[in-house]
Structure 1
Amino acid sequence: MAASAADAAAAAPRAIAKLPEHVVNRIAAGEIIQRPSNALKELIENALDAGATSIRITVKDGGLKLLQIQDNGSGIRKDDLPILCERFTTSKIKAFEDLSSLGTYGFRGEALASISHVAHLIVTTKTRDETCAWKAAYADGDMVPVKSGSKDSAPVPCAGNDGTVLAVEDLFYNTPQRLKALRSAADEYARILQVVIAYSIHNAGVAMSCKKASAGSSNATADVNTTVGASTLDNIGATYGEPVKSQLFEVAADSAEPRVKLRAWCSGTNYQGKKGRYLFFINNRYVDCSPLKRALEAFYSNFLAKGTHPFVYLSLELDPNKVDPNVHPTKKEVGFEDETEIVELVCERLADVLASQGDSRSFKVQVPPRPSSTTTPTTSTARKPAGSSSSKPSKVAPNKLVRTDAQSQTLDGLFPTIPSASKLRKATTTSGATAHRSARVRIAQSECALTSVKQLRKEVLEARHQGLEDVVKNHIFVGVADYATSQSAIQHGTKLYLANHAVFAEELFYQLGLRQFGRFSRVRLKPAHNVRKLLHLAVDKASANGAREGKTSWSSDKIVEHVYTSLFDARAMLDEYFAFGISDDGALESLPLVLPGYQPDILKLPLFLLRLGAHVDWQAEKPCFDGFLRELAFFHSPAPSPDLPTPNPESQAQAKHAVEHILWPTMRQYLVPSDKLIEDKAVVLVTKLEHLYRTFERC
C-alpha cells in the first residue's frame, strides 16, 4: 500500500513555479558572459561606440580577479548611472525595427547587466560637460554603495579624466561551476589577447594596449600596444612580426550586387605559417564565419605546401538590412543574406590578386646529407655491448618489401602552378574551392530526425566490406590507367589494383549526399535554366539514339510534361532537403554542392533531370530520398557519357587531375565501400610483388 502511494506521488505532475528574478538574471548572464574574453569584447565594443581613440586594458589572473578597461570616449551621464546595469537598458535602439539598420556594436543592453550579476562592477565616468568624474558600484543589476560600510548607493564624485573606467572584479565569484570549467589563467589571458589583437588591427586609428596587472608596479610591459597613427598593416606587423607583414597584400572590392564592401590583408603563396590565422569582421564585429573560413582554407590549399596555412584579416561591410546580429548570445556569429554570393565574391577577388602576385615563388627544400666515405658499413661485424636493449630488426624478404621513397614527390604535386585569374574564377565553386587540388575537406554529418534517412545511413554501414575499406583508406594512387573506361591504378601494400573510379565515385557521392541531407550548400545557376527546355533536350537526345524504341508510346511533349510536373510538385521538398531550387516560373535556380572543389559535367544536366522523372519513386519517402540521391550521384560521376562529345585533351587532363587530387583523397576520407563494389567487379587485383619476383626468377 505504501509503495503504491509512493508510485502515485512520483507520477503526479509537478507544479510550475516562476523562477526568482535573480536566478533568471544569473542564468541569462551565463549565456552572454561565458568567459573573461567575452566580457572584454563587450566592453571594448562599448568603448568604440562611445567614440574612444584610446583604450587601455589591465588584466589580473586571466581576467578573473580583475578586468579593467579605460577609454577616453564620451562617458556616461550621471543621470543614467542608476539604470546603467539594468537589463535591456540601452541608448542604441528605441524599437525592434531599429535592428534592421543597426550601426553600433551594442544594442541589447545586456552586457553590463550580465557582468554585474556574475562579478563586482565599479564604473568611473566623466563626460566633457561635467566638472568632475562620478563613481558607482553595481551588484545584480543595482547600484550598491561604493564605500564599504555605507548605506548610500548614490554615485560619489571623484577625480577622473574624460571617458570611462570599468573595473570588473572577482568574475564568476557566485557561479563556482563556471569558474571550475574555465581554463588556466594563462589560457584565459591568451584568449583576451586574441580579442584585443583583433580589434586593434581592425580599428587602426585607435590606440589600444593590454597588459597584466603587475604587483607593486604600474610599469608592466604591455603585450599589445598600438598607436593612434598606425595603419592596419602596421598593427599586424606590431603583433605578428615583420616577416608576416612583408608577406601580406591588400585585397579590396566594392560590389553593388550583392551589396558588399571588402577590405582585407592576406598572405601570398610564399607564406608558410604553421597555424592558420583568420580574423573576420562583419559590419565591424569580430565574428566567426565558418562558410568563409572553409572556402578560404580550400582556396589556399591549391597554393600552399602541405602543413602550411594562410594569414587572413578580412572585413566585410554589408547592408544592415540584410544582417541579423542577434543570432548568437555572445554575438560570436551573425546571420546575413546572400552568403553564398558574398563568399564567392571574396574568393574571386582573392584569385585575381593572387594571380597577379604569383610571378615569383620561393620554396624551402631540405637536402638529406650525403653519406661520407668514412661511414661505417651497415654490415659491420662489431659486437654490441652486453645488455644492450636494441635488437637487430628481422630481415624482410625482398619480395615482401613495399617500395616507398620519401624523395619521389614532385613539386607539381605539392605546388601546382598558379593559373590565370580567369581560370581561377571559372574553377571557383560556391564554397570558394578550386577544382584541382588534393586537399582534405571536412564534411560534417547533418542531424536528421527522419526515420527513413536514419535507415539509409544504417544500411550504408551494414554493407561495409572491411577488406576493401582497408584498401581504399590506405591506398597509394598510381595513375589513371584508362580514361575511356574510368580505370585507375592504385597500390595497397605489395598489391596493384585496377579500380573503376567512376563506380567508386558514384557510391561516394551517394554517401556524401546522404551525409549532408537537409544541409547542402547551394550552387546558384546564373542564369537559371528552363526545366522544360532541358527536359526536351534530354528526350530528343534519347530519341535520336533510339533509346525509346519499343519502351513507351508517349510523345516527347507528354514525357516532358510528366517529368516536369513531378519535379515542380516536389520543389518545396527538393529545395528544403537538397538545395535543388525551382522557381515559380519553372526555372532551375540552384543545385546542391555535394563536394567542395568538384564540379559535375554540366552537359549531363538534361539527362539528370530526365532520370529523376524516370527512376525516382515520388510517392514513398524512403525510396524517394534514396532514388534522388542515387541520381544525384550519377550526375556527379566522372564517367564519360557515350551520348556526349568526346572531351578535348585539356578537359581530359582536368578530369584526370580531379580524379587524383579530389576524388581519391575524398574516398580515402569518407567512402564506406560496400560488398556490391566487389560483386560488380569494380576493383580487380592485377598483380602483386611476390608474383612479379617469380616471373623475374624464371628469366
Structure 2
Amino acid sequence: MAEEQDVKHEPLPIRRLQESLINRIAAGEIIHRPASALKELLENCLDAGATSIRVTVKDGGMKLLQIQDNGCGIRKADLPILAERFTTSKLSTFSDLSRIRTYGFRGEALASISHVARLSVVTKTKTETCAWRAHYLDGALVEPKPGQTAEPKPCAGNDGTTIVIEDLFYNTPTRLSALRSASDEYSRILDVITKYAVHNPKVAFSCKKVGSPSPDLTTPSSSEVKQAIRLLYGHSIAKDLLHATIEDKNKNKSRDEDDAETRESWTAEAHYTNANYQSKKMVFLLFINHRLVESSRMKRALEAAYSGVLPKGASPFIYLSLQINPRDVDVNVHPTKKEVHFLNEDEITNQISDSLQKSLASQSQSRVFEYQTLLTGGIAEHEQSTSKKRKGKERARDEEDVDDTAPPPNVSAPPKKTLSQYKVRTSLQDRTLDSMFPVVNPTHIDARPGSSSAKGKSMNASTSKLRDIQESECYLTSVKTLRQKAAKGKHKQLSEILENHTFVGIVDLDKCLSVIQHSTKLYLVNHGALAEELFYQLGLRQFGDFSRLKLQPPPPLRRLIEIAVEQEETISESRLTKPQIVDRIVETVLARREMLAEYFSFSITPTGLIESLPLLLRDYTPNLDKLPSFLMRLGPQVDWNSETECFESFLRELAYFYVPGPLCSSPATAAAVGTDEDAQEKAERWQIQHVVFPSARRYLAAPKTLLDRDVVQIASLPELYKVFERC
C-alpha cells in the first residue's frame, strides 16, 4: 500500500503545450459567445473611424456573423499577419499602455476568432484601386479552395472592411453545446449593438438576420444620445430622462499645491430617469473612456441613490459616460476588457451617486401619474374639452403638490377603474347573434365535387385554420400596376377597423348584411361588397400561381352558357339571336383558352369541357349555381383587347362569381331542394363568419369606396350611455 501511494504522488513531468492548443485556450478566454466576438469587432470598426456599421447574423451568429464598416480599411501588406496573436497598430512600447485611448490594443480578437471559427476578410483603403479578400484559419492565411494559393485575392469592394465569421465553435463542441438558443444569442447581439449605438450616436448602426427584408435594429447617423435612447429604448424612457454633467469637485481642494497641480480631473455625463419611470430590471450602461465595461460597485451605489424615490422592486435606467485620464486607468485586467480598474474609484463613485441623488430629490417634489381609460387601441374621437371628466383628468395631471393624495413611494397605487361605457369586448369566445339561436353543426353537408353545396369536408370552426397566401412573383407591368393601385387605395381607418374587428353576426343573408364590432362601436357591413373586393385582391395576389378547383365530371362550356343566356331577360333587346350570342361567347372564351390556363389555372379542353376553375381560397368553395352566369359574362364584360383592362375585368368577374349569395336562384329551385335549403344556408353562414371575415382581416386593403354605403356605424357605446343617462 505504501508503494502504491508513493507512485501516485510521484511528480509528473512538465511539458510545453503545443502552439495550437495554447492559442485555442487563449481564444476561449476572449470569445465566449457570438456577442463577445461581435463586441471585439465593433470596437475595431470604431477604432477605424467608421461612420456606418452593418451586422448580418444567421442562427444567432453561430452559422454566420458578418460586420461591414466604412472605416479606413487594412493595408494589403498587413494582411499576412492580421490574424496572428499580439499583432496590433495600437501599441509599440510598454509605456503606450499608460496612455491608450483606443478600444483594442492587444491584437488578440481576430487571432482568437480564427482559432474557433472560419474567418474571412474583405478590405480596401482609400488609396488602393481594389479590395482584397483573405481567408484565415488558426491565425494564418489559408487557401479559400483546394488548389488555390493562400495569398490575398483582389476583388470588388467599397472602402472599409467586411469581416465574415462562419461556423463559430465548430472545433470546440463543448463550448457550442453550452450556448443557448439561436434567438437568445441573437438577443445578446442586439443588446451589444444597442449599447454601442447609444454611446456612438454619430455612427449609423444596423443589424438584421440573413434573409430578412428589413433590419431589426437601425439607427441614423448625426444624432444625439437622448435621441438614440428614444429610438432604441422607447419613448417611455426618453420622456422621463434627466441629464447631468458631473465634474471632479476635489481637484482644487488638495492641501498640497504640487498634488493639486498633478491631480488629473475627471468628468461624467449621465442620462438617467426620474421618479416617474419604474422598471422591474435596472438598465445600466457604463462607458469608461468610451469603453463598455461593468462595475458592480458603481451599479449598487447608483441603485442606492434611487432607494428614496422609487418604490421597492422598481429600478431605473442609467447611461453613464465617464472620462478619466488614461494614465489612471488599467484596462488590461480582464481578457475581454469587460472590467477596468482606475484610481480613486470609491471617491468618483460617491461623487456621481451624490450628484444624482440630489437631482432626484429636487425632481421628486413634482411627479406625474398617468393612467389609461381605454383597454385597447382604437380610433377614438376627441371629446370636448368642456366635459367634466376631461377637466377632472387635466386637474389631476397638472397638480404639482400630491403629498396629501399620492400614496407613499413604497405603496403601490390602486388600479384605476374603467367605466362600463369604455369597456371593449376582445374575446372571440363571446356570444354572437347566431349563438343566441339553436344552430345545427354544419359538418355533414354534401361536399361532392360539382355540387352547389360543396363547402369542404370539414367546416368546424375549432379545427379550420386559414392557410397563408403568399404573393406570387410576376414581372408583368400590368399586374404590378394593378397591385400598386390596390395598395395605394387602402383607407387607413377602415383597414384598421377590419384588421381588429370582432364578428358579431349576420343580420340578413339575402341582403348581405353583417354586424362587426371595433373598439366601442358597432358597424353594419355589406359582406357581399367586402367579399368582392377581397376576392379581387386575392386574385391579384396569386396571379399566375392559382390553385385549381377541379370539376368532375367536367361540364360542357356551351351548355352552361346556353343555360345562362336562356334565363337572361335583357338579351331579347339585342339584334343577335340567343344561339348567335352563345356561339360568340363560346368562340371568345375558347380563343383565350391557353391564356386562361397559364395565368388563372382556368382549364378548358379543345372540345369545350371545363376541367378546373381558379381557387382563390382553399377553405372556401364558391356557389357553383353561379357558374353559368359567370361564363356568360366573360363575353361582354371582359375587355379582351387591352392587357391591363383584360386582367382587371376578368378578376372582377371572378370575384363577383366568388361572392357569397343565395344558393337557390328561383322559388322553383328552392322547392326542389326542400329540406337541404336550411343546411345549405347554415353552410354559407359558416363560410362568411369563419372564412370571409378572417381572410379580410389578413389580406384586404380596404378601399375608401366601401365607406360610401357598405360600412356604416350604427352604434357607439359611450353615446348610448349618454342617451340612457338622460332617461
TM-score of the superposed pair, with normalisation by structure 1? 0.51
Per-residue CA shift, 1:392-427, capped at 9, x if unaligned? xxxxxxxxxxxxxxxxx99346279xxxxxxxxxxx
Q: 1:303, 1:415 within 8 Å by CA — same for their partners in 2?
A: no
Structure 1 residue 338: Cα displacement: 0.5
For residues 371 and 198 of structure 2, what CA distance do their matches in structure 1 show?
33
In the TM superposition, what is the alpha-carbon distance from 1:360 to its structure 2 partner?
1.2
CA displacement 1:143-168 (0-9 Å, x = unmatched): 0012x113410000000000000001
Decide which of 279, 296, 299 is 1:293's aligned counterpart: 299
Deviation at 1:8, TM superposition (A): 4.8
Residue of structure 1 aligned with 2:228, choices 210, 225, 235: 235
Residue 351 of structure 2 corresponds to residue 353 of structure 1: no
Cα displacement (A) at 1:113: 0.3
Aligned to 2:275: 269
Residue 359 of structure 1 deviates from its aligned partner by 3.5
Cα deviation, residue 123, structure 1: 0.2
Q: Aligned residue for 1:399?
A: none
Which residues of 2 match residues 338-487 of structure 1 at below 5 A? 338-363=344-369, 411-412=407-408, 414=410
Q: How does 1:161-180 map to 2 (within 5 A)?
A: 161-180=158-177
Distance 1:149 1:304, change over 3 A: same
C-alpha deviations, 1:23-42, integer Å up to 9, x for none?
00000000011111110000
Structure 1 position 353, deviation (Å): 2.7
* Superposition pairs of residues 128-139 of structure 1, within 5 angstroms: 128-139=126-137
- Residue number in structure 1 paired with 2:87: 89
Partner Cα separation in structure 2 for residue 91 and residue 272 of structure 1:
45
Amino acid of the structure 2 residue aligned with 1:166: I
Structure 1 counterpart of 2:238: 245
Measure, in 2, the Cα distance between the counterparts of 1:413 and 1:85.
55
TM-superposed CA distance for 1:170, in Å, is 0.5
Aligned to 1:106: 104
Give SS of 1:411's match. Answer: coil
The 3 A distance-change label for structure 1 pair 415 and 229 is: farther
Alignment equivalent of 1:33, drawn from 31, 34, 37: 31
**Structure 2 unaligned blocks of 5 or more:** 252-263, 374-404, 413-727
1:209 aligns with 206
**1 CA distance for matches of 2:60 and 2:324?**
34
Structure 1 pair 365–412 and aligned structure 2 pair: CA distance change class (3 A): farther
Aligned-pair CA distance for 1:356: 3.8
Aligned runs of 1:594-673 on 2, under 5 Å? none
Query: Which residue number corresponds to residue 195 of structure 2?
Result: 198
Distance 1:204 1:364 in 2: 30
Q: Is 1:118 paired with 2:84? A: no
Q: Which residue in 1 is equivalent to 2:337? A: 331
Q: Which position in structure 2 is the counterpart of 1:589?
A: none
- Contact 1:253-1:349 at 8 Å conserved across structures: yes
Q: Contact conserved, 1:302 with 1:415, CA < 8 A, in 2? A: no
- Three-state SS of the structure 1 residue aligned to 2:266 is strand
The equivalent position to 2:154 in structure 1, one of 149, 153, 157, is 157
Distance 1:7 1:290, change over 3 A: closer
**Aligned residue in 1 for 2:62:** 64
Amino acid at match of 1:106: G
Match of 2:218 in 1: 225
Distance 1:10 1:342, change over 3 A: same
Q: Deviations over 1:317-363 (max 9, x none)?
A: 10101101111111111111111111111112213432443341134
Q: Distance in 2 between matches of 1:62 and 1:89?
A: 29
Structure 2 residue matching 1:244: 3-state secondary structure: helix
Q: Report if the CA contact (8 A) 2:309-2:364 is conserved.
A: no
> Contact 2:35/2:188 (CA < 8 Å) preserved in 1?
yes
- On the 8 A contact 2:306/2:357 being kept in 1, the answer is no
Counterpart residue number, 1:22: 20
SS of alignment partner, residue 99 of structure 1 = helix
Shift of 1:232: 1.0
Choose which of 300, 309, 316 in structure 2 pairs with 1:310: 316
Query: Structure 2: which amino acid aligns with 1:168?
Result: I
Tell me if structure 2 keeps the 8 A contact 1:55–1:208: yes
Structure 1 residues 356 and 410: CA distance shift in structure 2, 3 A: closer
Could you tell me which amino acid in structure 2 is paired with residue 252 of structure 1?
T
Compute the displacement of 1:5 (Å). Answer: 6.7
**Matched residues in 2 for 1:322 and 1:11: separation?**
47
Q: Which runs of 5+ in 1 are unaligned?
A: 368-408, 417-699
Q: Which residue of 2 aligns with 1:449?
A: none
C-alpha distance in 2 between matches for 1:80 and 1:152: 17
Contact 1:92 1:104 in 2 (8 A): yes
Is the contact between residue 85 and residue 139 of structure 2 (CA under 8 Å) also seen in structure 1? yes
Between the aligned partners of 2:248 and 2:205, the Cα distance in structure 1 is 32
- Structure 1 contact 113–140 (Cα < 8 Å) conserved: yes
In structure 2, the residue corresponding to 1:122 is in which secondary structure? strand
Map Cα deviations across residues 419-467 of structure 1 (whole Å, 9 max, x no partner): xxxxxxxxxxxxxxxxxxxxxxxxxxxxxxxxxxxxxxxxxxxxxxxxx
1:536-547 map, 5 Å: none
Q: Distance in 1 between matches of 2:72 and 2:239?
A: 37
Distance 2:281 2:227 in 1: 21
Partner of 1:491: none
Which of residues 186, 189, 193 is equivalent to 2:186? 189
- Check if 1:255 corresponds to 2:248: yes
Deviations along 1:650-694, one digit per CA (max 9) or x if unpaired, are xxxxxxxxxxxxxxxxxxxxxxxxxxxxxxxxxxxxxxxxxxxxx
Q: Assess if the C-alpha contact under 8 Å between 1:173 and 1:179 holds in 2.
A: yes
Distance 1:310 1:413 in 2: 14
Percent identity, please.
Answer: 54
- TM-score calculated relative to the size of structure 2: 0.49
Tell me by how many angstroms 1:11 deviates: 3.4
Could you tell me which residue of structure 2 aligns to residue 567 of structure 1?
Answer: none
Aligned-partner Cα distance in 2 for 1:336–1:78: 38
Tell me how far apart the structure 1 counterparts of residues 42 and 305 of structure 2 sit (CA, whole Å): 33
Cα offset, 1:6, TM superposition = 5.6
Cα distance in structure 2, aligned partners of 1:18 and 1:8 = 25
**Residue identity matched to 2:410:** L
Whether the 8 Å contact between 2:305 and 2:354 is mirrored in structure 1 is: no
Q: For residues 235 and 177 of structure 1, do their structure 2 counterparts lie closer, same or farther at Cα, with a shift above 3 Å needed?
A: same
1:497 aligned partner: none
- C-alpha distance in structure 1 between counterparts of 2:112 and 2:371, whole Å: 54
Give the direction of change, closer, same or farther, for the CA distance of 1:123–1:366 in structure 2 (3 Å limit): closer
8 Å CA contact 1:59, 1:67 repeated in 2: yes
Question: The residue matched to 1:414 in structure 2 has which SS?
Answer: coil
Distance 1:410 1:250 in 2: 26
The CA deviation at 1:305 is 1.7
